[in-house]
Structure formats: C-alpha cells, structure tokens
Amino acid sequence: MDTPPMNRSRALLQKIAWSIFTILFVIILNFFLFRVLPGDPARAGIRDPRLKKEAVEILRIRFGLDKPVINCFESLNPIKVGSCDVNPLDTQFFIYIRNLLQGELGFSYHTNRPVTEILSERLWNTVLLIGAGQILAILIGVALGVFAAWKARTSLDYAAVMVSLLAWSLPTFWLGIILLFWGSANGFPLAGKATPGMSSMPLLQQWGDILWHMFLPTLTYTIVYMGEYTLIMRSSLMDVLSEDYILTAKAKGLSMFQILKDHALKNAMLPLVTVIAINLGFTVAGAIQIEAVFSWPGLGSAIVEAVGRRDFPMLQGAFLLIAVAVILANMLADLTYTYLDPRVKME
Amino acid sequence: MQTTIQTSEPSNQVTARLLGFWRTFRKNRGGIVGLWMLVFIILVAIFAPLIAPYDESSSAQTSISDIYQPPSANHWFGTDDAGQDVFSNFIYGARVSLTVGFFAAFISIVIGGLFGLVAGFFGGRWETFLMRFTDIMLVIPDLPLMVVIVALTKPSLLNIIFVIGLLGWTTTARVVRSQTLAVKSRKFVLRARAIGAGKGHIVSRHILPLVMPILVVQAVLVISLAILNESALSFIGLGDPTTLSWGQMLNYAFGRGAMSTGAWWALVVPGFGIVWVVLSLTLLGQGLEQVLNPRLDTHHLMPAKPTVRKEAGEQPAGKGSLLDVQNLSIDYVTEGKARAHAVENVSFTLKEGELLGLVGESGCGKTTLMLALLKLLPAAGQIVNGRVYFKGQDLTELGEDELNKVRWSGVSIVFQGAMNALNPVRTVGDQIEEAIIKHLPDFPKANLSARVTELLDLVGIAADHKDHFPHQYSGGMRQRAMIAMALACNPQVIIADEPTTALDVMIQAQILELLDSLRKKLGLAIVFVTHDLGVVAEMCDKVLVMYGGVTAEYAGVDVIYNDPRHPYTQELLKAFPDLTKPKKKLSSIPGYPPRLDALPSGCRFAPRCPAAFDRCKTEQPALHRVGANGHIASCHLIEASK
C-alpha cells in the first residue's frame, strides 16, 4: 500500500516546476518572435513618413533597438549567430530579461507610457469579464449537462444537446455583434466599462454602472462557453452513472437526488476541471474577440489596439502577460485536480 | 456517396471496412445532417461563379447611394459598405473560409499525426521530447500567439494558413499518440514484430489503418477550429486585405458603420456562413466519433420500464417464506432489435436462514434475475410477467420511493467483482455509514463510527482501514467490505452475486466461510449466485439451475447431486471433480449457451444436449414436478418416463 501524501506533494512540485519551465519558454519565445520575424519593429512602429532618419535613430535608441540582439556565446555557438564582440550585458536580450525581472515591459509606441502601467490597469477588467463569464458558463453548463444526462435519450436531452452544439459553433465575435445590435436597440450601453462622469457618483452606483456595461459582454461569453461545458458534463455524468458503484448506491435505497449529489456529481466534475484548465487558452481567445466588439478596456482590446497601431511593445507585453496568466491558471486547475481526486498517484 | 467510399486502396478489405463504417454512420442522424450541410456549402463554394448574381469585385460601378442598401429583388441580402452585393460576397467568401480551413487543418493534421505516430511508436527519448513540446504548445494560448505572428508578418492568406496550421496540431498529436500506443500493444502488431517485420511495414500496414479513423475525426474538428480562428483574425483586422472571407466581411461591416446605419444584413449573413460550416463539421465529427466509440447512452438512473403481466390472478405469497418469486419473466427491449427473453418463468422460495444456490454458465440470466428482484434492471430491462413477494409484499408493484425502503434494509446485494462496486472517491467507512444513516435514522450518530468498525471487524478488516479509499484495499478486502456494507442495516435476505469470482482460493474460502457463519449467527437468508458446484454442495440448502434464461432444475441440494433429472444438471456435475470419486472422468459441455436474442425454438438446451430427440427441437418443455419435495425440472424426458 502506498502513501499518497508523499506522492501527491511530488506531483505538485513536478507540475509547478513544469509550469515555470513553460513560462521561461514563453519569455524567450516572446523575445525572439519580435526580433526574428521580418520587419524592423522600430521602422514598422515608428513609421510616420515625416520623421527624419535622425529622429528615427533617436527613437531607436530610446526603445533600445540600437543594441545588438544577443551575444553569440562563442563557446556554445559554433555557427556564430549574434554579435561576438559585444558585452553580453549590453544586448537587447539581456536588457529584456533584466527589465522583465524589474517588471518593466518597455514603453508603448503609441502613448509613450510604460506598458506595465497600461496592462496592469487592463488586466483586472479582463479578469472580471472572464471570471464572471466562466462562472456563469460553468454553472449553467453543469446544470444543463446534469439535466440532459438525467433525462438521457428523451426529447429534452436531445434539445439540450442541440442547443449546446449550436452555441459551441457560434463565432464569439459574431454573437457579440448580434447581441450588441440587439442591445443598441434596447438601451444597453454600446461600449466601454463605465458611463463617462460616473467616477463622481457614489461607489454603489459606479458598480451598478459597471455591471450594466458588463451585461452584454458577459452574456456573449456565457453563451459561447456554456455549450461545451454542457456536452462535457453530460457525457461525463453519463459515464459515471453507468458505473457499478451507482448501481450499488441505487441498491442501497438512496434516492435519485442523493445518488446524484453524493455519488455522481463529484466524480463527474473531475474531468470538467481538466477541461476548464485546457480551455483557458480558448477562453482568452474569446475574451479578445468580445473585448474588441464591446470596446471593453481589457487585455484583449489592448492586443487588438496594439495590432491596429503597430504598437509592438504593447503587443509583446500583452502577449506575455496573457500567456503567463494562462499557464499559471492552468497550473492552478491541475493542482486542484490533484487535490480533488484521491486516486491521483503520479508516475 | 459511392465516390467517398471507393477513393481509397483497391483492396477489398479496405472497401469492406469502409462500407461497414458507412452503414453504421448512416444511422446517425446528426452525422448525416452535418455531412449534407458540409457537402452543400462545398458545392456552393465550387460553383460560386454560377450561383452568385454579381461578380467578385463588382464595386467598380457602385456609387454612394449603393452603400448599405437593404435587401431587395436586386440584392437579396442587401449591399455592404462598398456597395457590393452581400449575397455574392457571401458565396465567394465560402471559398476563402473553406480554403483556409482545409489547408490549415491539413498542415495541423500532418504535423500532429507525425508527432503522435513517432512518439507513440518509437517511445523513449523521442516520445519525451515530442510530448513535452506538445504540452508546452498546448498551454500557450493559440489566438494571441497567432495575432502576434500575423501582425509581425504580412497578413496574406498564405501566411494565415501557415500560422493557423502550424499552431493547431497539439491535440491531434496527443490523440494520435495514445491511439498508436494502444494499437502498438495489440496482438497482431506484436506478432508482426516478433516475425521481424520492418518498422515501416508495421507502421504503414498495421498501425496507420487503425490510427486513420481517429485522424479523420480529429481533422473534422481541426478544420472547424481553423475556420473560427481565421474569422477571428480577420475580424481583428489581420485578414488578407485582398480576399474577402466571411470574417473579413464582418470586419469591414462592423468597422464601417453597419451597426450605426442599422444594416443588419451585412452583419448577420457572413456570420451565418461561419455558423453553418462549423455546425456541420461539429455534427459530422460527433457522428464519426459515435461510430468509432459507440456509447450505450444508458445509465443506472434512467427510469425503469413499467412492469407488465401476461397472466393475472396469481397465487398469493407462500406462507412462511421470506422471499417468494413466482413465474418471473424479464425481457430486454432495445429499439430496432428483437426483444431478448433474458429470463422466463422462473420461480423459487427462500425461508429464513436458508441458502439457495443459483448456478448456470455465464449468460444464463442469473444476474438479470437477481437485479430484477429489487427492480434494479438496466434501462432496457423490463419485467414482463411474475411477482416477487418479500414478506408478503409484491416488490414488482412498488414505486421507487417504496422500493427504496426495502432495498438494503430488507434485501441487500453483494455485487459481483466489488472492484467498481465501491465509489472510488469516498472512503469505505463513509459508504457504510451512509447506508445506516439512510435506513436507520434513529441510530445514534455517536455510535456510527463504532458500528462501522464492528461491521468491518466482522468481515476481518482492521479498524484503521475504515478511512481508506477503495483503491487502497486489495481485491479480497473490497469484497469483504462490500459484505460488511450489505450487513449494515440488518437485512433479512442477502443476494451474493458471484462474490468470489476473480479472487484467489484462500480468500474465496474465507469469504464463503464468513457468509455461512453469518447465516447461522444472524439467521440470514442468502441467494448465492455462482459457477462453483463444489461450493453449492458444501453450503447450500436448495439449488436452482438456470439455462438460457429458464429453470432447468430446482431442488434440494441432495436431490440435485444424487438424482439430477435434467441433462444440463447432469452434464454440469460431470464437469466438476468429486473428491469421493477420484477416478471419475471429467468432461466439459461442448458449445456455448444460446444468445438471448437468438434462442432456439424448442428446448434451449437441445443444441448441446446429449439426450435430445426430435421433440426437443420444436417444443419448449414445461416445468415438471418430479416426486415430492418440490423437485422441478424442465425436460421432455421426464414426461416420457412418467
């Protein structure tokens, strides 16, 4: 017989170490993507034709683009990529890493403000939107999935499955557009997070205003992600309900409700935790589209705006922040699973 | 549909397999609808110039007044921000969206398939490297990375296809790897390797054909994701400005005032195209998945089929018997299939402290019969005749709420193979307590733990295992825990459904001894379902021999062993060693029990019966009384000898 606590803490450590490794990978990827892909980011970003060559040069220095990309690390690098005659500490890569460690992501080409500052304002708006949307989608999806499994092979089940498949097939941004179109005719706010001038109002009213603005984006989010959760919950619960131990529970004289509550739901929820974790990446994709449609001031619209303005430091910073957030959230979901399932014994 | 089937290798085997696949798939309504929806939109894309009323770039002749015209006879779906016909652009947009979807998915499937195949087949370092890489790519959010790459390169159609394709392979790699691993360890592959077949040969001849179907399902899903990603990229403003995909149409309409002018047509129509394609692929994917991994789609909580009775006016419950089963018949009813008569006309009685052995080969309806006693049949099962009296109350007449009072407190069950009969995420002690709390609400809470310890002690499980999970128990312990749980509410009857199969001999003996001693100590009545005639001889008072869902013979244990009248009982006894006659020759019964959906028209045992004669093949024998003491057997020979 084994001792699960030790196994479990080892599994946890493994997962944490692996997530850190993935984050390092993303940090390096993020650096090279913006240096290796075609197009001098400075020229692309600062492409005002009125700028003189000297002015561009000054801007290049300001954004650190005059420095060599990376030291060639002569001993490790037989093909001599990079500049070998520079101080490794004076390369863009080293400065990038050093700045990252200090929480600096450079300056926005567009507003000249520190990227970190802009992103930290916007991060919480995205977290708010995704949080509210996910919670609603999970609650409704689980409820609908349980209902469909319980009524399996009836027309109610069939309808629930069809609705879910349809919801799953909707392009997020398009559903947003349709709801916005509908909302604009029904007095819903069309854009943003708050009515201008609201900041002078009492706090409660401010929050009410934000909720009012959140309604349509959150609704879009909920509909798009609800379908998948319904389908997964249904099939997961169907699997669990056909297990032998459910027959045991039935033979024990437990009521339908007791069996669902005490024997089926927890077991059926376990796969859902994994799916929620895997879905976090898609979740962000949805947020980007929804924020773009509703001009919700979050990370997603930051990305879209940065693309439109060729604001590469913003794009780079936003991508890094999103990727790291997803990796961390994924790790958390993984850890939750390990904690929930007593059977987990890692290899 | 003939064409899709015959495009592959000329080999007859492949064609036959595909035909079989098609036949199953054809029954899947959703899958078929999806397929036709997809075929339709592909045809629309191919014949776009014939269908579209206007040219692809008809804006050259437009004027300001043409912008955002509402739907009319000239423009079925109105015009867009450039005064172009929305319907024509929609038709041509299908070409772009489908092209991106198919080509990007092709790249993803090739990469994912290759990675999965290599990782699964070669294992070792390759697997570690490829799968770790896949894991990393799986966590990095797709769309933001696509946005970054497309923003940094030229947003041309080719670039978009490559970016989506190169980032969309992760799930495919995982799925293909696990399928390859599964296929690799199958017998015919191992055999091919043992006789020294080359790796290329094994992969192409043995593994690829079995990985292919999964790859097709995966491809369908990847295409739909690629189309969704392309439309999102275009909407964000990263589409190819020279082509007009559906996403691009939406980008232009949304960005250029369709919302404020109220031009709903320019916003609704292109999105409808995306939904159409994605929904068709989703339905198709689900349909294919269903064919590959058929699910029964039933579970234990589905409502039971109502009890019906062919014959009314049965006898009331026999006096003095705890359990009185009369003429019980059970059918399995599946849509589109013939009724299977799983149990027909079975009767037996059980008195306090009695032990009835229920014997017969697998598939003879023993488990069905036991489950029917407490109305625990699977959803397809239906009681079609007979009654089950427990202490004078007909259980077949009861509803769920009333049954729940009898279940476990009156009659409890020790399930076959207790491996999965205990909930894996709750401790064993907890599951035993649950039964007590349910049926003995007055039981003092403070004593619960002590009672569970006592029950576990009764079956020889140490108290410190109480708070362990089932996976921490050995097989024998789980079986004993199950018995402890069955005893928890002091039932009068215990049904033990093969409680000792799959256990080693020592533990078997322990469990049997335990049951027997409990019977003597607590006055339990036990129905013991088993294959083991030795056990029956040693412990049972009465024996019910079942064959093909009917009673072959029913009598006291001595009668069964000394004067078996049914040839099946006689053959079963010949197949068992007897310690008192060590020189006895053992024989087995050739053949198998009949399938319940294809029962022979006469006696069900006739095809295997050494004594069968003509009448046996045409007429089902009735139950005959043999002498006194309730000895019953169903065989034409008995009538002949009377």
Residues 127..166 of A with a Cβ closer than 8 Å to B: which?
149-150, 152-153, 165-166
Q: Which two tokens stand for residue B114?
A: 């290759």
In this structure, what are the phi and psi dihedrals at residue B556, rounded to the nearest 5 degrees?
-65, 160
For residue A171, what pLDDT is reported?
A: 94
Which residues from A are below 8 Å from B435, CB to CB? Answer: 252-253
pLDDT by residue (tens digit) across A42-99? 555 555 666 677 777 777 777 677 777 766 655 555 555 556 666 767 778 888 888 8
pLDDT band per the 50, 70, 90 thresholds, residue B61: low
pLDDT by residue (tens digit) across B442-493? 999 999 999 999 999 888 889 999 999 988 888 888 888 998 999 999 999 9
CB-nearest partner of B153 from A37, A152, A255: A37
Q: In angstroms, rounded to a whole number, what is the distance separating the alpha carbons of residues A84 and A77?
A: 10
- A184 close to B (CB below 8 A): yes
Q: Which two tokens stand for residue B278?
A: 């994605």
Cα B228–Cα B234–Cα B235 angle in degrees, nearest 5 = 90
Element (H, E) at B349: strand B340-350
Strands (E), B351-456: 355-359, 381-390, 393-394, 411-414
Contact of B265 with B71, CB cutoff 8 Å = yes
Q: Is B313 helix (H, G, I), strand (E, B) or coil?
A: coil
Residue A130 backbone zone (phi > 0: left; psi -120 to 50: alpha; other: beta): alpha
pTM comes to 0.84
Distance to chain A for B534, nearest Cα, Å: 28
As a whole number, mean pLDDT of residues B56-66 equals 60
pLDDT by residue (tens digit) across B186-197? 877 878 877 877
Question: B64 or B285, which is more confident?
Answer: B285
Q: Which amino acid is at A313?
A: P
Q: Which two tokens stand for residue B454?
A: 């006592």
pLDDT by residue (tens digit) across B611-632? 888 888 888 888 888 877 788 8
- Residue B188 CA: distances (Å) to CA of B119, B195, B206, B214: 20, 11, 8, 19
pLDDT by residue (tens digit) across B190-217? 788 778 777 888 888 888 888 888 899 9
- A123 close to B (CB below 8 A): no
ipTM of the complex as predicted: 0.88
Of A145, A122, A120, A138, which is closest to residue A280 (Cα–Cα)? A138
Distance to chain B for A247, nearest Cα, Å: 6
**Would the pLDDT of B413 be above 70?**
yes
Least confident of B53-62, B86-95, B260-269, B449-458: B53-62
Mutate to test the interface with B, among A33, A109, A174 (most CBs of B within 10 A): A174
**Would the pLDDT of A347 be above 60?**
no
Mutate to test the interface with B, among A8, A26, A307 (most CBs of B within 10 A): A307
Q: How many CB pairs below 8 A link A and B?
A: 241
- A224 close to B (CB below 8 A): no
Whether A169 and B141 lie within 8 Å, measured CB to CB:
no
Tokens 């993984």 sit at which residue? A334
Mutate to test the interface with B, among A37, A173, A328 (most CBs of B within 10 A): A173
Which residues from A are below 8 Å from B302, CB to CB? Answer: 152-153
For residue B509, what pLDDT is reported?
A: 79
Q: Is B91 helix (H, G, I), strand (E, B) or coil?
A: helix
Whether B413 and A342 lie within 8 Å, measured CB to CB:
no
CB-nearest partner of B438 from A34, A243, A252: A252
Q: Which amino acid is at B605?
A: F
Tokens 């009767």 sit at which residue? B347
CB-nearest partner of A22 from B139, B237, B421: B139
Q: Which amino acid is at B590?
A: P
Which residues from B are below 8 Å from A170, CB to CB? Answer: 275, 278
Return the bridge partners of B553, or none: B545, B633
CB-nearest partner of B300 from A247, A270, A310: A247
For residue B65, what pLDDT is reported?
A: 67
> Helices then strands (H, E): number in chain B?
26, 12
For residue B306, what pLDDT is reported?
A: 86
Tokens 């198919």 sit at which residue? B102
Return the bridge partners of B544, or none: B358, B554
Half-sphere exposure of B513 (CA within 13 A, CB side): 9
Question: B349 or B311, which is more confident?
Answer: B349
Cα A282–Cα A287–Cα A289 angle in degrees, nearest 5 = 100
Q: In angstroms, rounded to a whole number, what is the distance separating the alpha carbons of residues A306 and A292?
A: 12
Q: Is A71 helix (H, G, I), strand (E, B) or coil?
A: strand
Contact of A285 with A297, CB cutoff 8 Å = no
For residue B7, what pLDDT is reported?
A: 37
pLDDT by residue (tens digit) across B157-183? 999 999 999 999 999 999 999 889 888
Q: Which two tokens stand for residue B570?
A: 């006689």
Distance to chain A for B467, nearest Cα, Å: 12
Element (H, E) at A212: helix A203-241
- A255 close to B (CB below 8 A): yes
